[in-house]
Structure 1
Amino acid sequence: MGRSPCCEKAHTNKGAWTKEEDQRLVAYINAHGEGCWRSLPKAAGLLRCGKSCRLRWINYLRPDLKRGNFTEEEDALIIHLHALLGNKWSLIAGRLPGRTDNEIKNHWNTHIKRKLLSKGVDPITHRPIDATDCERSEEKKAPRCPDLNLELCMDLPIEMQQEPECSVVPSSTTFLLLDYCRTSLQMN
């Protein structure tokens, strides 16, 4: 069976935190430290669930959190770490003291991704977006025969490819279709 709910939903506050609630949470954690988040709300005199208290503390109230905009150096470090680690926001946050994983993820999705795209860099692969790549993909899609597309490809996902390749799987049907294409092209 699953875990019991973290709180009694009927008697909890939801929505924005008040200054008084923030002060109670900070005072309790300063006096007793971070402990069991499930029992903290009752002990601190808060009508909140433990998860809500934990997230409020981690994302907003901790004294070691940085406030304000990200610096250019932080942006550059996030881009570099994202190229190495991908969307592993908690690992990236470990290299940026005072920034939370959620804050970094939101900054990536709202600012850095757009900045990279405007500079012509793919935010997923961190490679330049090149017109020749677009032309190559169009060539791959273009049918060789007016009525039939005979490209049978088995490739790795784009992120894992070195050079675009397509391997044709020969079969008797493939050879018949190729002969049909050749003869129909010669007739035109």
Structure 2
Amino acid sequence: MGRAPCCDKMGLKKGPWTPEEDRKLLAYIQQYGHGNWHALPSKAGLRRCGKSCRLRWANYLRPDIKRGKFSLQEDETIIQLHALLGNRWSAIAALLPKRTDNEIKNYWNTHLKKRLTKMGIDPMTHKPKNHALGCDQAKDFANLWHMAQWESARLEAGRG
């Protein structure tokens, strides 16, 4: 029961997108909107599955996406939200305007997780790994933990 995997169809292209494919997808969406992602590839003249088109649009081609370096404020927000929400990247992205969940996840895994580890903080629990923290690091951690607890209480109050 259910639908067969979309990419099992014969003749569909996989792998990196070409600039020509990007132009076709953009032109089609600008003219007609995306509508039904399953039907879009054939209408746009693409030999891709609908899921591939949807992800390409959502993560790379949408005009309102913010690209480039993350600000210090965004770094702090991601760390705080990760302490509260864990690896729920779409929930975190919903609170960071114009950033995609995929981009935030990649940034966490390549930069922020390592930064926390270097500071002596476990990136999964957001607690100190050992008790040999310097005074400044201990204050930073206490502030971060306090902000995370405050944000958690705020989010819980908003649900009721």
**Alignment TM class, shorter chain as reference:** 0.7 to 0.9
Runs of 4+ in 1 over 3 A off after TM superposition: none
CA distance in 1, matches of 2:118, 2:7: 46
Checking the alignment, whether the CA contact within 8 Å between 1:38 and 1:51 is kept in structure 2 is yes
Identity of counterpart residues, as a percentage?
63
| SS of the residue 1:77 aligns to | helix
Q: 1:131 to 1:8 in 2, by over 3 A?
A: closer
CA distance in 2, matches of 1:10, 1:130: 54
Q: TM-score, normalised by structure 2?
A: 0.77
CA distance in 1, matches of 2:32, 2:6: 20
Residue deviations 1:83-106 (CA, integer Å, cap 9, x gap):
111111100000111111111111
Which sections of structure 2, spanning at least 5 residues, go unmatched? 133-160
Deviation at 1:6, TM superposition (A): 2.8
Residue deviations 1:85-143 (CA, integer Å, cap 9, x gap):
111110000011111111111111111011001111111121222248xxxxxxxxxxx
Q: Verify: 1:66 aligned to 2:63, yes or no.
A: no
Provide the residue aligned with 1:45 in structure 2. 45
Q: Kindly report the root-mean-square deviation, in angstroms, between the aligned alpha carbons of the 2 structures.
A: 1.5
Q: TM-score, normalised by structure 1?
A: 0.66
Which sections of structure 1, spanning at least 5 residues, go unmatched? 133-188
Checking the alignment, whether the CA contact within 8 Å between 1:7 and 1:38 is kept in structure 2 is no
How many pairs align? 132
Q: Amino acid of the residue matched to residue 16 of structure 1?
A: P
Q: Verify: 1:121 aligned to 2:116, yes or no.
A: no
Q: 1:45 to 1:80 in 2, by over 3 A?
A: same
Q: 1:70 to 1:50 in 2, by over 3 A?
A: same
Q: Amino acid of the residue matched to residue 96 of structure 1?
A: L
Larger radius of gyration: 1
Deviation at 1:26, TM superposition (A): 0.6
| SS of the residue 1:114 aligns to | helix
CA distance in 2, matches of 1:6, 1:126: 39
- Whose relative contact order is higher, 1 or 2, with alpha carbons under 8 Å and at least 6 apart? 2
Q: Verify: 1:81 aligned to 2:81, yes or no.
A: yes
* Structure (1/2) with the larger helix percentage: 2
